[in-house]
Chains A and B, each alone.
Chain A
Amino acid sequence: MIHFLWKEKGANMKENVASTVVFILLLFLNTNLLNGQSPPGKPEIFKCRSPEKETFTCWWKPGADGGLPTNYTLTYHKEGETFTHECPDYKTGGPNSCYFNKKHTSIWTIYIITVNATNQMGSSSSDPRYVDVTYIVEPDPPVNLTLELKQPEDRKPYLWIKWFPPTLVDVRSGWLTLQYEIRLKPEKAAEWETHFAGQQTQFKILSLYPGQKYLVQVHCKPDHGFWSEWSPESSIPIPNDFSMTDATVWIFVAVLSAVICLIMVWAVALKGYSMVTCILPPVPGPKIKGFDTHLLEKGKSEELLSALGCQDFPPTSDCEDLLVEFLEVDDSGDQQLMPAHSKEHPGQGVKPTHSDPDSDSGRGSCDSPSLLSEKCDEPRANPSKFHTPEGLEKAEKPETNVTQPQGPQSTSVEGKIPSFHVSGSQSSTWPLLQPPGLHYSRSSYHSVADVCKLGLGTAGAASTLLDKTDTRALKPSQTIETGGEGKAAEHGESESFHSKTDQDAARLLPQDKTPLTSAKHLEYVEIHKVSKDGALALLPKQNENSGRAEKTSTPETSKEYSKVSRVMDSNILVLVQDRRAQNLAPFEEPAKEAPPPLPQNPAAVDLASFPAAPSNCRLQLGGLDYLHPTGFMHPFQ
Chain B
Amino acid sequence: MTTLTAKDKQTVKAFWAKVSGKSEDIGADAVARMLVVYPQTKIYFSHWPDQSPNSPAARKHGITVMMGVGDAVTKMDDLKEGLKELSQLHAFTLRVDPGNFKILSHNILVVMAVMFPTDFTPDVHVSLDKFLAAVSLALSEKYR
A-B interaction:
no
Residues of B within 8 A of A (CB): none
